[in-house]
Amino acid sequence: MSTKSALDAEGLAASVREFLREHDPLATDRLEFLRARFDAGLAWVYYPEGHGGLGLDPALQPEIDALFAAAGAPDNRPELNFIGLNLAAPTILRFGTTEQKQRWLRPLWTGEELWCQLFSEPGAGSDLANVGTSAKADGDGWVVNGQKVWTSLAHQADWAILVARTDPAQPKHKGLSYFICGMHDPGVDVRPLRQITGESEFNEVYLDDVPIAGDQLLGELGQGWAVANHTLMNERVAIGAGTIPRENGTIGALARTWRSRPELRRPGLHDQVLRFWVEAEAARLTAERLRQQQAAGLPGPEGSGAKLTYSRLNQQISSFELELLGAEGLRYTDYTARRPVIVADYAEESAGWRFLRAKGNSIEGGTSDIMRNIIAERVLGLPAEARADKDIPWKDLPR
C-alpha cells in the first residue's frame, strides 16, 4: 500500500469510528443507519462525493466494510440485489444524469429498491444486438412492447435495466437505446421459468404497452449498445468474482468435503483436488484485481476471461465432487417448484444442486463461445469474425 493510500486508510478508519459514535448500529433503525452511511460517503468509498462515496481508492473498500462488520453494523444484504449493485449502479454512475444518480443510487445501495436486467430475448441471447423489443416515442416518453427471457429475480425487482430498439431502420448495433423500466408498471408480466434444479430463479417477462418516462432514458438516444456493453463488462467481472473470498463457492465445498470425509480419499485424487484449489485461487486473485478495476469505472474485456474460467471451474469441480461422493452425490431430493428471493450461495446447497446449477454457468452472462470471441478479438487482437449483417438495417434482416 502506498503512503498516500495508507494515509487515506487511516483517515477513513477515523471517519468510520466517528460515524459509529454518532450512529450506534445497535440502537439505530437499520434503514436509517444505511441511509446515513450512504450520505456520509461510506457506502461505495470509491464513488464520487454526493453519490455514496468519497472518490478514494477502490482497494480501501474491503477495509471499511470490515470495520462496519466488526461493529455489528447492518449490511445492505448484497445477496438480494446482485444485479442492482454490480450491473445497474456502475452503469448509472457512468451514463446517468445528475438527477438520475440522485434518484436511483441511494435506494439501490440501501436495498430499498431491487433491480433486474431485461436484456436477452428468445431470438437475441448471444447475439444481443438483435433484440426486437420496441420502444416507440409517445409524447415525452416511450411505449415498450416485447418479450425478455432468463431474467434473474424479476419476481423480486422494483426496477430493471432495459435494452430496446428505438430505430429499426438503423443497423442492429445502432438502433438501440437503454432505459430504466419500472417492474410494477402496467403491462409488465413476469412468469417463472423452471430450471433443471426445480427452482425458478429466473423468469420470462412480457412487456405490453409499458410506459417509460422521458427521464428514464439512460445515456443518449441510440447509444444503447455502448451503454449495454458497459453493463455486460461489469456483469462478467461480477460473475467471475464468484471465487471471492478464498475457498468460496464450489472449491470451498470440495475442500470441506475432502477434509471432513477421510473415507472418501481414494488414491490418485489428492493431486486433482490440489490442482483445482490452485486454479481457483489464481482465479480469485485475478478476479480481485478486476474488481478493483471495475470499481474504478474501468471494466474491460478481461472480465470475459474471468467469467470463462469461473464457468469452467464450477462445472469441473462440481463434477469431481459428485464422483468423489459416489452414490451419495447422486441423491437430489428437493425438486419442488420454488421461487428463490436471493442469488443462491453454492456453498450452502447440496452437491447435486451444485452439479446441476453449474450447467448454466457457461450460458448466463454470455455464453462461453461468446467469451472466447471477445478474448480473441479484444484482448489478443485477433481478426474479428466476418459478419454480413452489421451494416444492414435491422428491419431488413431475415428472422
Which of 202, 203, 124 is closest to 394 using CA atoms?
Answer: 124
Residue type, 187: G
Cell numbers 471471492 correspond to what residue?
A: 244
235 is catalytic: yes
- Give the C-alpha distances (Å, rounded to integers) separating 80 from 116, 129, 194, 330, 342: 11, 28, 20, 30, 5
Helix locations, the chain, DSSP H? 3-22, 30-39, 61-70, 82-83, 89-95, 98-110, 224-240, 249-260, 270-295, 302-325, 351-357, 368-374
8 Å CB contact between 308 and 375: yes
40 SS3 class = coil
Residue of 121, 201, 235, 302 with catalytic role: 235
Q: Cα dihedral sign for 309, 315, 316, 320?
A: positive
179 SS3 class = strand
Helix crossing, 270-295 with 302-325: angle to 10°? 150
| 3-state class percentages of the chain: helix first, strand second, coil last, to nearest 5 | 50, 15, 35
Q: Provide the 8-state DSSP code for 124.
A: B
Active site residues: 235
